[in-house]
Structure formats: structure tokens, C-alpha cells
Amino acid sequence: MSDLQFQLLAALVKVVLVVAALVQAVPVMTWIERRVSALIQDRWGPNRVGPLGLLQPLADGIKFVMKEDIMPSEAHKALYFLAPAMALIPALVAFVVIPFGPVVQISGRSVPLVVADLDGGLLFTLAAASMGVYGIVLAGWSSNSKFSLMGGLRSAAQMVSYELALSLSLMGVVLLSGTLRPMAIVEKQAGWFWEWNAFLGGLQFVGFLIFLVAGFAETNRLPFDLPEAEAELVAGYHTEYSSMKFAMFFMAEYVNMITSSALAVTLFLGGWQLGIPTELLGLQPGWTLWTLQILAFAGKVAFFQFVFVWVRWTLPRFRYDQLMDVGWKGLLPLALANLVFTALLAMSGRGRW
């Protein structure tokens, strides 16, 4: 096999793996969401279909497919049809630059366990995430319904506002690491877990918290789910959607959650690093170590998935003016202060380069 053929094959395998994992995580997440929400509200949750209700997502999937696909009259047909795809595709694309494991050796060639190891990888994620808002806005507009339109407008304002705080909170880590390549950022967080960027390694806990809050807002999750606030807007931007088109919005939300968790883990919590020096474990680079590291990444991401669910069923929703206040007067100045602090830190020689 020539080098080019090998690289193409590796890329293809990685793409299929990542997309399959992301899409398959959605049904699992719906089950976790409902079980954990039940736990928090002292109920059982779905427990009839299969053991522990584990087959519930399958039943949901069948139900989605069987539902009638409705298109409102007076809807803008082309955009109404395209909007779900425009929400889901950027969500999937944003994940391609996130490393889910170290650089591994396969038959003498090194393969980084990331779909695309780009020089400006972090910017790529931000660019893809900023494209996601189009799906929601256009769904709201093309449905020709007031509720949908209000949801779409809110989401446009919300996403543009919180994107600023989100990108600024990342810049602290970028300053310390001196690179925008996620793989390099993770590699620089080797060693003990307190040397991760969120802790003593980068002193980025403020940046981490800002990122987390802004991440909740970017994924339209409670307490920031104003675009679909059901008490006021029926179901917000996807009020008029049914069947698999609705399911695609649903999937986009969950995939976005996974991506922002994965990004938080990559930047602030050591990505696929174990948090214990590998020499101490007596492990040589090999499939045992690599599998452990992939599992460490998956475990950290899974923990954040749980946090997303936990927060959703614990906190009430913000009011619209509160949302804007938190974004512009709270998070943005805080993120700027954090950036200045980090710049001073980097100048004083704490930088990792």
C-alpha cells in the first residue's frame, strides 16, 4: 500500500468512526437524559422497553420514522426542507478537528487520532459552530409561523452574543499553548491532572467556567434554551416540524452538546491525557496505553454530557433581558479580563512554549 493510499484509507476510517460515534451517541443520550431527569424528579423514567428501558431510543426512532411529515402551507418550501440539514451538518463537521486519541503507530506509520489535524483547528471548530445558527434561523423563518420566527430570532441574537465570550475564553489557552492545533494543545497537557489547563498548568479555571456557560448558550440548552422556550413559544423554531425533520434538529442539539463537551475536555481538561504520568503506570506507547487514553477522552466527555443533563433539570430558564445581561455585561468583560491575566502570565514565563 502506498503512503497516499494509506493516508486516504486512514482518513476514511476515522471519518466513518467519528460520524458513527456521534450519531449513535444521540439515542444513548436521549435515554440518559430521560433517566437522569427522572432520577432528579424522583420518578422512574422509561423502564418498560427492554432492560432498564434501554430499547426506548429504538422505539422512539421507529416512532419518528412512522410520523407524518408535515409541511405547513405558505412555508418557504426549499428553505423549510433544507433547514434541518443546515442545523445537523455543521454540528457534525465541527467535531472533525477534535483529537479523540494520541498519535498512534499503525504498521510503521503514525496516524493522529483526529479526523483533520489542521493548523488553525480551533478556528475551524468556531467557524463550523457559527454556521449552525443558519439552520435554526431559517427553520424559524421558513415555517411561516410567529412562534417559530420568534424562536429563530432569539437564537440568532443569542448565538452571536455568546460566540464572543466563547471564543475569547478559548484564547487564554491558545496564548499559553502558543498554537491553535488541538492535538498540540492536548500534548502540552501531559503529566499529572493538576497540570491540565483548567488547573495549575494554565490557571484557566475562569476561562473554563466562561467556556462552559457560553457552551450551554451555544447549544441552546437550559438555562439558555430561549429559542425553544416551550412555555412561551410552543416549541420555538421547530414548532412546525415533525417526523425525521424534527429528529434532525434534535440530533443537531445533542451532537452540538457532545462537540462542546469534547472541546472543553480538549482545551481545559487534558483531552485524551490520563492525568497520571504514563511512566508512572509503567506503560510503553502501545495499544494498551492508546486504548486507555481513548477511553479517558470518552469518559471525560461522558461526564460533561451528564453535567449538561444535570444542569438542564436543575436550573430554571433565563429571561431574555437577563440572558443578554449575562452575555454582554458578565461573561464578555470577564473573558477579556481573563485574557489580559493570561497574557501577563505568558509574559512572566508560565507559557508552555
Interface residues toward other proteins, by CB under 8 A: 76, 79, 118-120, 123-124, 126-127, 130-131, 133-134, 137-138, 140-141, 149, 152-153, 156-157, 159-160, 163, 167, 180
Nearer to other proteins, 94 or 274 (CB): 94
Beta carbons of 143 and 81 less than 8 angstroms apart: no
Cβ distance to other proteins smaller for residue 134 or 205: 134
Q: Which is nearer to other proteins, 159 or 210 (CB)?
A: 159
Q: What's the chain's length in residues? A: 353
CB of 90 to other proteins, least distance (A): 10
Give backbone dihedrals phi and psi of 108, rounded to 5 degrees, phi first: 80, -5
Min dist. Cβ of residue 153 to other proteins (A): 6
Q: Is 96 in contact with 116 (CB distance < 8 Å)?
A: yes
- Cβ proximity to other proteins: between 37 and 130 the closer is 130
Please report how close the Cβ of residue 247 comes to other proteins at its closest, in angstroms. 24
Q: Which position has the grid cell 489542521? A: 118
Kindly tell me the burial class for residue 309, based on how many C-beta atoms sit within 10 Å of its own C-beta (0-12, 13-18, 19 or more). Answer: buried
Comparing CB distances to other proteins, the nearer of 63 and 77 is 77
Shorter beta-carbon distance to other proteins: residue 118 or 203: 118
Cβ nearer to other proteins, comparing 86 with 247: 86
Query: What is the full DSSP assignment across 263-296?
Result: HHHHHHS-TT--SS-HHHHT--SSHHHHHHHHHH
Work out how close the CB of 164 gets to other proteins at its nearest, in angstroms, rounded to a whole number. Answer: 9
Give me the least distance between CB of 258 and other proteins, in Å please. Answer: 20
Smallest gap from residue 91 Cβ to other proteins (A): 14
H-type alpha helices, the chain: 3-40, 56-66, 77-93, 121-131, 133-142, 146-177, 182-187, 205-218, 230-233, 243-268, 278-281, 287-312, 320-325, 332-345
CB of 321 to other proteins, least distance (A): 15
Answer yes or no: are the C-beta atoms of 198 and 208 closer than 8 Å.
Answer: yes
C-alpha grid cell, residue 195: 497540570
